A and B are shown apart, each in its own frame.
Chain A
Amino acid sequence: MKKLLVNLLAVSMVFSLAACGGNDSKDKDPVDDTKQEEKETEKETEKETEKETEKETEKETEKETDAEVQNDEGSVFNIYAWNEEFKGFFEEYYEVPEGITVNWIITPSQDGAYQQKLDEALLNQETAADDDKVDLFLAEADYILKYTNSEYTQDVAPLGVTDFSTAYEYTVQAASDDNGVTKGVSFQCCPSALIYRRSIAQDVLGTDDPAEVQEKLDSWDKFEQVAGDAKDKGYLMTASFAETYRAFSNNVTSPWVDEENNLQFDQQILDWIDQTEEFIENDYTLTAGIWDDEKNNQMFEDGKTMCFFGPAWYYNFSMENAMDPEKGSYGDWAIIEGPQAHFWGGTWLLAPAGTDNPTMVADVMNTFINDEDVCSKLVSEQMQFSNNQVVNQKFGEDPEYGNEFLGGQNDTAVFVDLAKNIKFENQTIYDQLLNEGLQTAMQEYFRGSVDKDTALQNFYNYVNETYPAINTPS
């Protein structure tokens, strides 16, 4: 009993000690954090300066102006994002002015978590302390309208972002409100391609030459026919029921909701459902979601899937398995336009109203669309398709340039062509979660868990809970 008491005392002491310690750290932490981060960024900048001493001279003038400005602008630069993609490029290519700490607030986008978080921050922007204000935030095409058409973003022209001559028009249009006022820029252009496995195409179509493959896959009819041929040889056409979703949904002729906020299904969406029904029935594809491991595993060398769909960012973001040194399929890929031109995603940098770092906001934006050096590196080092037409053109026309991951194919040349066909229209502020919700509901139908009516009803229920403003058929 005595021993027990001693033990208990020990436990409670540990608890209470920890509690006191915890209390202290709670009070002190914000400061500690920033200090730590400052230290880290200092280190990083040191490293970067070492690396890039050659360029120092070029940029010195810029830096000086930054240093001057920084006196009356905030010392903390908060960037809201939903993943680390842009963070990587930012840290690699953007030189943060001295004395400014960059703070990344990253929330995953699924289920609207990122939007919720961002909304909360923007709604409190006015009352937030300077160091807590949103200074720059990232947005996707699926919901960018929500922010551009609000008072929570600002015109970037007065800040000094005025040259959009080399940016793709749709990216500027997407970042502009209904009156044509531009609120931000995109650092990438995202025409989406059909990405195929060369070896499988060779087996199924008798060729892996992009031009010839394109000829055999340039319509949905042909695509479906080839899917049958692929199956006969033991292959899958795609690895996710939703793989072709974007190709359809980006070509809709009507938005998700009409003027009275009634939910409506465009013919393209219905076509996607029909096609997927057929694909599932015939085992041309899998019931996995577009981000699932089950699908991604198909990119390993022993994968059996011929086609994937995605823009340039897709290589880095989703094809890690294909690049795996041991079991990957590096170099066994190529891209073509495929059956239907479309775009997918893209990351826009928007300027929030009330930022206390307007100079840096403009500087970041200009760097990623107008600095040819940075844009070139995005293409050559990061396999991106930049939002600078001059740079893209240069790589597209360079006979020496090729992407090793794609067996030496010049993918930039393909994307230059595809980019001409991109239209930004029929978008609503609800698209992200409506697209996610429909895919989730239909997945159950394709897996055979529910019938089609029930799947649609579950989608309506989801819409009712997520967007009370939308009227659904029930």
Chain B
Amino acid sequence: MTNTTIENNTASEAKSIGVRRFFAYLFLIIITILCLFSFYLLLINATRSNSQLQAGFTLLPGGNFIHNLKNAWNDASINIPRGLVNSFVVAALSAILATYFSALTAYGIHAYQFKLKKAAFTFIMAVMVIPPQVSAVGFVQLMYKLHLTNNFLPLILPGIASPIVFFYMKQYMESVLPLEMVEAARVDGSHEFATFNRIVLPILKPAIAVQMIFSFVASWNNYFIPALLLDKAHMKTVPIMIAQLRSADYSKFDMGKVYMFILLAILPVIVVYIFLSRSIIGGVTAGSVKG
């Protein structure tokens, strides 16, 4: 191989990278538009009055933002601020429980040798794919019997057993947690539980960040079980309220108000996300996983 061919190669390579870069950006821009278009529509429509909305679509905002905001915020039967608080409490608590106990379970199986270890692991893997809705009938019946309807506990506590989160934690531990470290802590006289909390958990932080967000979002979105268990107005979570909007009795609403409802429902999370996105995404991608 002569020098010229190498040079040619690099030149054509540079060219091909340029082309690839162009397509990569194009692709990213299309995806970005897809992601942001619905947000934009929502934002614009929330600023327009009912008759403006019916008149036709424009890309420019109208002047009814404050009016719609007042209407939606003060609506007596759909109390969005209340729903946001409820949803947040449920989602945050179940995310914390899900990640902590999944990590604990994964550590229990990863770091210790015991007779039922393999059986326990196999069991969790086996039940992982079963959707929770499958046991909903019995769950709802049981909750009615225990008078736990209109209570957040049945929405939070099941988070302790989250096979999917467990699976991720287990995979993660296999790649980053050397057992020698645990051994060393033991030699130093660290209590097993303290070892987990003080040494293992910090190592798992990236994985915890990922699963915290994922579980939070999953619970935040949850509609099926809450809709079956919550019916008191002050206990309703946001998805239940939003689902109400879709029914006919609200069709007499002006649409500006409906768009405002939706905007209010998603805005807080989006704002928090924008502020934290760097560390969230950073945390998520920092936790590289090896199978």
Contacts and interface: CB of A to CB of B under 8 A. Distances in A.
Interface string B235-268: 0000000001001111110110000000000000
A317 to B, nearest CB: 6
A370 to B, nearest CB: 28
A106 B251 contact: no
Interface in A67-124: 82-84, 87, 104-111, 113, 117, 120
Nearest to B49: A326
Interface stretch (A15-23, A47-55, A453-461): A15-23
A22 B84 CA distance: 11
Interface residues of A, number: 49
A267 interface: no
A172 B81 CA distance: 42
Given A25-B85, A26-B89, A104 B77 contact: yes
B54 interface: yes
B179 interface: no
Contacts of A33: 234
Contact of B276 (A7, A18, A19): A7
A157 B223 CA distance: 44
Nearest to B153: A26
A88 to B, nearest CB: 11
B107 interface: no
Nearest to B97: A19
A291 interface: yes
B168 interface: no
Contacts of B206: 4
A108 B252 contact: no
B185 interface: no
B249 A82 contact: yes
Interface stretch (A159-167, A219-227, A293-301, A413-421): A293-301
Contacts of B50: 320-321, 324
Nearest to B286: A4
A320 to B, nearest CB: 6
A318 B252 CA distance: 6
B85 A105 contact: no
B233 to A, nearest CB: 6
25 contacts: A4-B279, A4-B282, A7-B279, A8-B208, A8-B283, A12-B212, A22-B88, A22-B89, A84-B76, A104-B76, A104-B77, A105-B233, A106-B76, A108-B249, A109-B249, A110-B247, A110-B249, A113-B247, A291-B248, A292-B251, A293-B54, A300-B54, A320-B252, A321-B50, A327-B55
Given A12-B96, A321-B54, 10 more contacts: A3-B279, A7-B279, A7-B282, A11-B279, A19-B96, A29-B234, A106-B76, A110-B249, A291-B252, A300-B54
Interface of B: 50-51, 54-55, 76-77, 85, 88-89, 92-93, 95-96, 152, 202, 205-206, 208-209, 212, 231-234, 244, 247-252, 254-255, 276, 278-280, 282-283, 286
10 closest cross-chain pairs (CB), A and B: A22-B89, A7-B279, A110-B247, A291-B248, A108-B247, A108-B249, A291-B251, A106-B77, A327-B51, A83-B249
